[in-house]
Amino acid sequence: MTPERLAYDPLTQLALSCRRLFLRNHVLPVHIGAHDFEKGVAQRLVFNVELFVPYSASTPQSDRLAEVVDYDFVRHLIAERVQRGHVELQETLCDELAATLLAHPQVQAVRLSTCKPDVYPDCEGVGVEVFRIKGSPT
């Protein structure tokens, strides 16, 4: 990549200007699936979330939780959506959660994935990942 291209690459800009907060392998029972055998029964879903928060909005001056984005915010949003009931597609769930997380005033970008680890016996899991930057077209 040329130096000129690097200067405009959004992911590079986020990496240089933001702190990356993450929630890894957060496992919850979720009512999800489009197939008949998936309806009415919860299945394990693994969530991985990365939030990109500008250093200017995430560098504490007084070592206080109120000065940063709290991880509980992420867990609460996921739990709240899961409790609302069945969703057919992982794509739908990822898009909804990413949009809600991105609405936080301090969050500049979101990378979020979900994975069903129990669908097929011959693979670790099947899933979906989205990456959204505030102000970019979806």
For residue range 35-47, list pLDDT tens digits in order.
Answer: 998 999 999 999 9
For residue range 2-33, list pLDDT tens digits in order.
Answer: 555 556 688 888 988 899 999 999 999 999 99
Triad 65, 68, 71: Cα angle to 5°: 80
First to last CA, the chain: 25
For residue range 48-75, list pLDDT tens digits in order.
Answer: 999 999 998 878 788 888 777 888 999 9
Give the model's pLDDT for residue 5.
54
Question: Which domains, from first to last, does the chain contain?
Answer: 3-133 (3.30.1130.10)
List all residues 6 or more positions away from 103 whose beta carbon is below 8 Å from its beta carbon: none
For residue range 113-137, list pLDDT tens digits in order.
Answer: 999 999 999 999 999 999 999 987 7
Q: Are 74 and 81 in contact (CB under 8 A)?
A: no
Sheet holding 18-30, edge to edge: 18-30, 43-54, 109-116, 126-133
* Average pLDDT along the chain: 91
